[in-house]
Amino acid sequence: MSRFEYAPAPESRAIVDIKSSYGLFVNGQFTDATDGKPFKTVSPSSEEVLAEVSEAGPADVDRAVRAARKAYEKVWGPMSGKDRAKYLFRIARLIQERSRELAVLESLDNGKPIRESRDVDIPLVAAHFFYYAGWADKLEYAGAGDDPRPWGVAGQVIPWNFPMLMLAWKIAPALAAGNTVVLKPAETTPLTALAFAEICQQADLPPGVVNIVTGAGRTGQALVEHPDVDKIAFTGSTAVGRAIAKAIAGTEKAVTLELGGKAANIVFEDAPIDQTIEGIVNGIFFNQGHVCCAGSRLLVQESVYDEVLGRLKRRMETLRVGDPLDKNTDIGAINSPAQLAKIRELSQIGEDEGAERWSPECELPSQGYWFPPTVFTGVSQAHRIAREEIFGPVLSVLTFRTPAEAVEKANNTPFGLSAGIWTEKGSRILWMANQLRAGVVWANTFNRFDPTSPFGGYKESGYGREGGRHGLEAYLAH
Amino acid sequence: MTTLDSGVDTLADVTSSEDRLRRFLLGLPGVDQVGAEARAATLSSRSIKTTAKQYALDLAISMIDLTTLEGQDTPGKVRALCAKAKRPDPADPTAPQVAAVCVYPDLVATAKRELQGSGINVASVATAFPSGRSSLAIKVQDTKDAVAAGADEVDMVIDRGAFLSGRYAMVFDEIAAIREAAGDAHLKVILETGELVTYDNVRRASWLAMLAGADFIKTSTGKVSPAATLPVTLVMLEAVRDYHEATGLHIGVKPAGGIRTAKDAIKYLVTVNETAGPDWLDPELFRFGASSLLNDLLMQRTKLATGHYPGPDYFTLD
């Protein structure tokens, strides 16, 4: 008998019906774009062209905003919270019913493993709609004043790392609070947002309440700068976030920005060792490291450095990289050639600056965009790989000797989105969590999300919170 | 002390006094319950199909300790079980044999006679199974009886009361005494994890048993609920992996009780493969203590070969 090699177990694509081309979703209808060039969306694991998607120019964005305004004034704004909740519950149920299809579509368009889209992303998407549906008729109890009012039209721009989940984070609270939305998905991952547009039709959502305009930076800019948009919500890079903050400075637009991160995952000598290794792996290799709150800086107490590194490498050797639609794949494809180039460039810089690079033996597919799980040791605070967000499966390992030093190093970053603490000592967890300047601090776990829990950053990681009551508040004027 | 840098010499040191043993066991890294269970859940989501499934089903059959541990056991019942062990699927001679037949000490001789020349081991539970609540002298005699009757493997239970009250040296000495009484027989130490309750205890008991000379560590007697669970087995597999790293020795793991379906068995094999590693995918180092599991494995095996499920009456009762 041979070794236990897992035979491929691919999820069927037949469940997904991808059209050859998609228009914009404006006022409840798919319509042609009037002033943009169509672009193609490809599957990052195979470079196969999946569909042609419209680019929305300023005139199209204007149409979408006007549709949203009308829907806000005539239908959605005046509607009772209880009735809005019915629509949101209906959407949540439709997402559950179509979850397999959405998971396959997400893995095709984004490159993430089906294990994650099926077991994490889509269940969380449905959970967010269910959660905020529950708030729709209870806004006055959300802690945002006695008579909280929606802002009006929300312009939302989301990234490509969790296309459907970010859509849910944005649209669910916005609609629950009574806003209407114009949402721009990322140009490399528009397909699940367009599938969501179909779900809105299926749910009989009044026309104009949700509008989806596809496109790249130009479309996003037109949306952000549109004078009739009341509230901007953006998740993406710090550079774009800064540009948005500048663009809307002096206007009355409300804004939430969820930007980059360079989280410290801090391991003390008394940590629950095997679960810590899982947490490190999950922290940086989940979704190919395309996670703004990824634990990309591992801070290990010097006394357990060798043990942690040895175990981490052994564990990394069992990671399966490859076809995202294979149910046994742990790490999928890098989302785009541009992102792959950036990961390669920063990794090269890491080597050039003297850090030691290691990856397990793993065969990468010849087609598509791939990067092996990678760990850099001998990294110091002064290295660029310890400071810049790589947004890929690349872990930098640093060491510390005392809790105070761990806090100092963890906070010594322009970012402040998340952090992780691994120790069996409860008092240390609480002490550390108070010292760390990060929006989320996980203890003995990492990358856990729940609709009830607020998420957001300090410093260059942005401002405002999404999720929980706080996320609802961001869509309410008071 | 960390588990990885403890060599053979230092491990001998830790058993040199009660105090040192205690400090060593309490100094083992903790197990985070949520994390261990999450890891087990991830491992159970592996999708094992086609050739991998064929391999897994046959491997699982060859790892079974076919067991009867009832007050009503008779020589006739044991003979029937032995016949099944030799030829699990009368309709398909390509089905592999199981690893061992596990019986009470008084039935060892019967099983031994039936299995003569088959290559299948006879395992026997001894040491006042299942509670273990009698004197050491009786436990030693129980073990000697089983071995004298021809048992190739002895499954002993630890004194959970002593363990839970922190008398680690007493548990250690007892295992060591049984180890000696068992002679050449393989010693499987039953931790009864359902009574130890916490994963920290499971990890400590695993190390304690290995330090005292266990060839195998086993989850349960099958008489206590919960019996084997995937997270408990995961923690034990981590312990044997770490022990191997520290000493170079391979210790086996045997989940027992409650594993009834091929699907469950495959989850265990995946966990073995990705935790202790492929070396442990061998009846020498991994066993299933189960009897009802076998028929489901045979049924799935037939399904793979013929494309449809035979009814339960196509497989023998025992």
Instruction: Inform me whether the pLDDT recorded for A412 exceeds 60.
Output: yes
Mean pLDDT, residues A36-44 taken together? 96
Q: What is the dihedral of CA A323, A325, A327, A333, to 10 degrees?
A: 40
pLDDT per residue over A248-267, tens digit each? Answer: 999 999 999 999 999 999 99
Split at pLDDT 50, 70, 90, the class of A1 is very low
Of A3, A7, A119, the CB nearest to B50: A7
Instruction: Inform me whether the pLDDT recorded for A83 exceeds 80.
Output: yes
Query: Cβ A271–B59 below 8 Å, yes or no?
Result: no
Q: How far apart are CA B193 and CA B225, in angstroms?
A: 9
A442 contact residues in B (CB cutoff 8 A): none
pLDDT per residue over B259-279, tens digit each? Answer: 999 999 999 999 999 999 999
Instruction: Report the run of H or E that residue A139 belongs to, with start and end.
Output: none
Split at pLDDT 50, 70, 90, the class of B290 is confident
Q: DSSP letter for A24, please.
A: E
Q: How far apart are CA A372 and CA A375, in angstroms?
A: 10
Q: Which CATH architecture has domain A21-259+461-477?
A: 3-Layer(aba) Sandwich (3.40)
Q: What is the residue-averaged pLDDT of chain A?
A: 97
Cβ atoms B106, B71 nearer than 8 A: no
CATH 2.40.170.20 is held by the domain A264-443 = no
Q: Which residues of A are marked as active site?
A: 258
pLDDT per residue over B66-123, tens digit each? Answer: 999 999 999 999 999 999 999 999 999 999 999 999 999 999 999 999 999 999 999 9
Q: How far apart are CA B92 and CA B95, in angstroms?
A: 6
A8 contact residues in B (CB cutoff 8 A): 49
Question: What are the sequence ranges of the domains in chain A?
Answer: 21-259+461-477, 264-443
Annotated catalytic residue within B84, B112, B139, B218:
B218
Position of tokens 């949203």? A68
- Transcribe A372-389 into DSSP letters: --EEEES--TTSGGGTS-
Query: Cβ A445–B58 below 8 Å, yes or no?
Result: no
pTM tops 0.90: yes
Instruction: Inform me whether the pLDDT recorded for A284 exceeds 50.
Output: yes
Mean pLDDT, residues A308-321 taken together? 97
Instruction: Report the run of H or E that residue A462 belongs to, with start and end.
Output: strand A462-463
Mean pLDDT, residues A194-218 taken together? 98
Annotated catalytic residue within B142, B155, B264, B296:
B155
Please give the angle made by the CA atoms of A352, A353 and A354, to the nearest 5 degrees. Answer: 90
pLDDT per residue over A104-150, tens digit each? Answer: 999 999 999 999 999 999 999 999 999 999 999 999 999 999 899 99
Q: Can you give the pLDDT at residue A445? A: 97
A267 to chain B nearest CA, in Å? 13
DSSP H helical ranges for A136-213: 163-177, 191-202
Closest CA to B193 of B255, B238, B252, B136: B255
pLDDT per residue over B81-95, tens digit each? Answer: 999 999 999 999 999
**Parallel, antiparallel, or unpaired for β A231-235 and A153-157?**
parallel
Q: How far apart are CA A97 and CA A122, in angstroms?
A: 11
Mean pLDDT, residues A336-365 taken together? 97
A424 contact residues in B (CB cutoff 8 A): 30, 32
Instruction: Report the run of H or E that residue A27 belongs to, with start and end.
Output: none
Cβ atoms B35, A444 nearer than 8 A: yes
Percent of chain B as helix, strand, coil, to the nearest 5: 50, 10, 35
Q: How far apart are CA B131 and CA B134, in angstroms?
A: 8
Q: How far apart are CA B203 and CA A274, in angstroms?
A: 12
Q: Can you give the pLDDT at residue B8? A: 53
Phi, psi of B217 (to 5 degrees): -115, 140
- In total, the C-beta contacts within 8 angstroms joining chain A to chain B are 85
Which residue of chain A is at minimal alpha-carbon distance from B278?
A3
Split at pLDDT 50, 70, 90, the class of B3 is very low
Q: Can you give the pLDDT at residue A96? A: 98
CB atoms near residue B45 (< 10 Å): 13
Instruction: Inform me whether the pLDDT recorded for A164 exceeds 50.
Output: yes
Split at pLDDT 50, 70, 90, the class of B4 is very low
Please give the angle made by the CA atoms of A389, A393 and A396, to the nearest 5 degrees. Answer: 60
Q: Which of B2, B26, B32, B44 to mutate to test the interface with A (most CBs of A within 10 A)?
A: B32
pLDDT per residue over B299-314, tens digit each? Answer: 999 999 999 999 889 9
Which residue of chain A is at minimal alpha-carbon distance from B6?
A307
Q: How far apart are CA A286 and CA A280, in angstroms?
A: 10
Q: How far apart are CA B91 and CA B36, in angstroms?
A: 41
Determine whether B263 is an active site residue. Answer: no
Mean pLDDT, residues A97-107 taken together? 98
Mean pLDDT, residues B182-186 taken together? 97
All residues at 6 or more sequence positions from B148 whose CB lies less than 8 Å from its CB, including other chains: none
Mean pLDDT, residues A146-165 taken together? 97
Mean pLDDT, residues A407-419 taken together? 98
Split at pLDDT 50, 70, 90, the class of B1 is very low
Q: DSSP letter for A119, please.
A: I
All residues at 6 or more sequence positions from B196 whose CB lies less than 8 Å from its CB, including other chains: B160, B163, B164, B202, B205
Give me the interface pTM, i.e. the ipTM. 0.94
